[in-house]
Structure 1
Amino acid sequence: MITAASGRAARLRAFLEVEAKAVGFDAIGITRPNSIPRAPERLQVFLSDGHHGSMDWMETRRNERADPQALWGDVRSVIMLGMNYGPDSDPRAVHAQKDRAAISVYAQNRDYHDVVKGKLKTLAGKFASRAGADVKVFVDTAPVMEKPLAEQAGLGWQGKHTNLVSRQFGSWLFLGSIFTTVELPADDAVADHCGRCNACQTACPTNAFPAPYRLDARRCISYLTIENKGPIPPEFRPAIGNRIYGCDDCLAACPWNKFAQVAAEAKFAARDDLRAPRMAELLALDDAAFRTLFSGSPVKRIGRDRFLRNVLIAAGNSGDATLIPACEALLADPNPLVRGAAVWALSQLMAGAAFAGLAQRHENEADADVRAEWRAVLPVFEDA
């Protein structure tokens, strides 16, 4: 029997679907706040194994991440929304261009947090007005386990690469959520359709997946180039190749991408200057030029120094001797993180005698970490 309450909830659901599409969302689903009961256990295993690396906020706010009602006790429904950011070409193609740098698809234009959050606020405002209800909006900067919730809301399933996979959009969905005090009809969860496929795992350059559906962030290039604030561990540097911000390999390898459409949202179309920028130009960026180039982009959040650390690692992997002068100039950079990465880059690009001579000219380096970079590579050339 259809009650007045259930009829109203169904009308609100229909309203949400129409308005979500009008605002620019490509997928919508609804779930209950208690629909992910295994989340606390899985999160605790992830944290206990240390797979979160230096992302301490995952530990300090683990209770809120694992339980939406711990984040907001009044929530009765979670509206999950997805926005397609599918690229117009295979993002892995740039890896063959050794003088170019690879920036993750999601960061080649405006910061998606700003785009998605703006649309969430618009939709939430319309819904709150229609429903007479309280709402809160969240993008992934908040402690919300969006991917498990999106799975329960029917948007897709968490693949073996731990990201959401959609039958309609492959691995290319930005997620956001609206928490509300209204009880809305919930959708059915989506079954896992990965089957025997492990393409995402075998595609990972640094073997960051200890098992299917498990990620060790400490080995992930996205973590190493974005979240990691210190030097990139030497054992991962060669595998990073020319990836200077994030990594799309596991996402791009997913066979479900063949059903994905190119993103309709113009704000997610890659900027021409960020599709495959020249390393030589990036190495010359001072702070002001860095901020100008990446204005509005998520890349700006890591700052010029960490960004140049990444570019220098890519330069070292390029085999391009024309980059030597730009790398050598950065041995005098004020930031030791940049100087240390420059040491490694030059050790890969220069012949032994030339590099040894360069080292002598910098024997007065005062920073302990940079001196350690010199010591780590000099023995190889001294024996040459």
Structure 2
Amino acid sequence: MEYRPLGTTGLKASVIGFGAEWIEGMDGDGVRALVDRCVGAGVNIVDCWMSDPAVRSALGAALEPTRERWIIQGHIGSTWQDGQYVRTRDLAQVRPAFEDLLARLRTDHVELGMIHFVDDPAEFRAIMAGEHGFIDYVRELKAAGKVGHVGLSTHNPEVAQLAAECGEVEVILFSVNPAFDLMPASDDLDTLFGDYSDVTGDGIEPVRARLYATCEQRGVAITVMKGYAGGRLLSAETSPFGVALTPAQCLHYALTRPAVASVLAGYKSVAQLEEALAYCEASAEERDYASVLAGAPQHAWYGQCTYCGHCAPCAAGINIALVNKYADLAALHDEVPSSVQAHYEALSATAGCCTGCGACEARCPFGVAVAARMEQTASLFGC
């Protein structure tokens, strides 16, 4: 299992995580089987947004024997009212719901206290301005040690951008997959599971590219939800690309985005968990999403680098995918950020080493003009 830093929190998360959303309806033995297999494989991060008392209790019982090994993402603002889930900022409901979460998870704290499900930029601004006292309660929890670090969950890259820039949110739970990355920002979650008529097919949406760059630069970690687009990417019939991807390909796409630390997929069975865990031992060919997307009948990224690594090896020793990633991060700013410049200069071979041989271009699935990009990047960074 690979582990990555969770931004500046000091925590390290397994790249494969456990999104516990689908354990609803499982008995205690089923939940324990999932948790035990996670522990055996080295999975150490779990997300629990669900407010159903039965779900929380089953998860808590399964986690308790190995609690010290887990990074728990616990959500603040997810409540259970009259037998159903309700998202709210009303502290009369929020406070007892979070205390219930801790009690049922059999713990006195969660490592990540997630401001739950904010998809409207206006709502985010209202929360951070102190409306309803919600952010004050989050800060109170952190001061008391009941929350280790403040996070936020959202599907909207505009909200995520505001969170990344605010200086208080350290981890963002965000939906990342090759379909969503082509779609414009929206506060309407239904658009993400509709007919994908908004998928542009001409490259990643600029607002999402800017978000990834900001998180990378500021040390804000992204943990991933909806890595399979709700399962739609796993079937040619439901995929917006007209081709099916495998779990390993979806996971690799998400894990090659800047700032991404872990993908928290949901599992209805140990068998589904095994499909995700297989990523850890998968070959480069098995992880290769680029060839599939490049050959898809619709919505490929022609001319745009997706950091897939097909260009390797470079005769001059350049890590072309990483150089392109740094160039993309830098290009979103008026001036190259000092942190990006430092990472770029630390490379053993920079874009200026390119000989223009063109071997990489013959291997690129998306027809990227690599030599020209290397020349532009060398000019951008000065070497």
> Higher RCO, 1 or 2 (CA under 8 Å, sep at least 6)?
1
Higher helix share: 1
**TM over 0.5, shorter chain:** no
Higher strand share: 2
TM-score by length of 2: 0.31
TM-score by length of 1: 0.31
Q: Which has the larger radius of gyration?
A: 1
